[in-house]
Amino acid sequence: MRTGSVIWSKPFDLSAIQHSVFMSHSNGKLVVVGSRNQGTDRKKGRVHYDVHVVDSKTGKRKWFKSQN
């Protein structure tokens, strides 16, 4: 943060996310959360939330979970 220089740069596939994307950083972890619709029926369809956790020092994915 002191220099503003890029530490790492890697492709990160968030193509499934259809709505807002939120990011937060703490304790060396970058957390990315986004939502998407599952199904087209308004009564039976559900909103799913995708949670990605990335090591902020290396850019390696640490954890992923999708839930409704």
| pLDDT, tens only, 10-61 | 888 888 888 889 999 999 999 999 988 877 777 777 888 899 999 988 989 9
Residue with tokens 């290396």: 58
At residue 55, the pLDDT reads 94
21 within 8 A of 34, measured Cβ to Cβ: yes
At residue 31, the pLDDT reads 95
At residue 43, the pLDDT reads 75
DSSP 15-41: TT--S-EEEEEETTEEEEEEEEEE-S-
At residue 26, the pLDDT reads 93
The confidence band for 68, taking pLDDT boundaries of 50, 70 and 90, is: confident
Q: Maximum CA pair distance of the chain?
A: 50
Residue with tokens 């029926």: 41
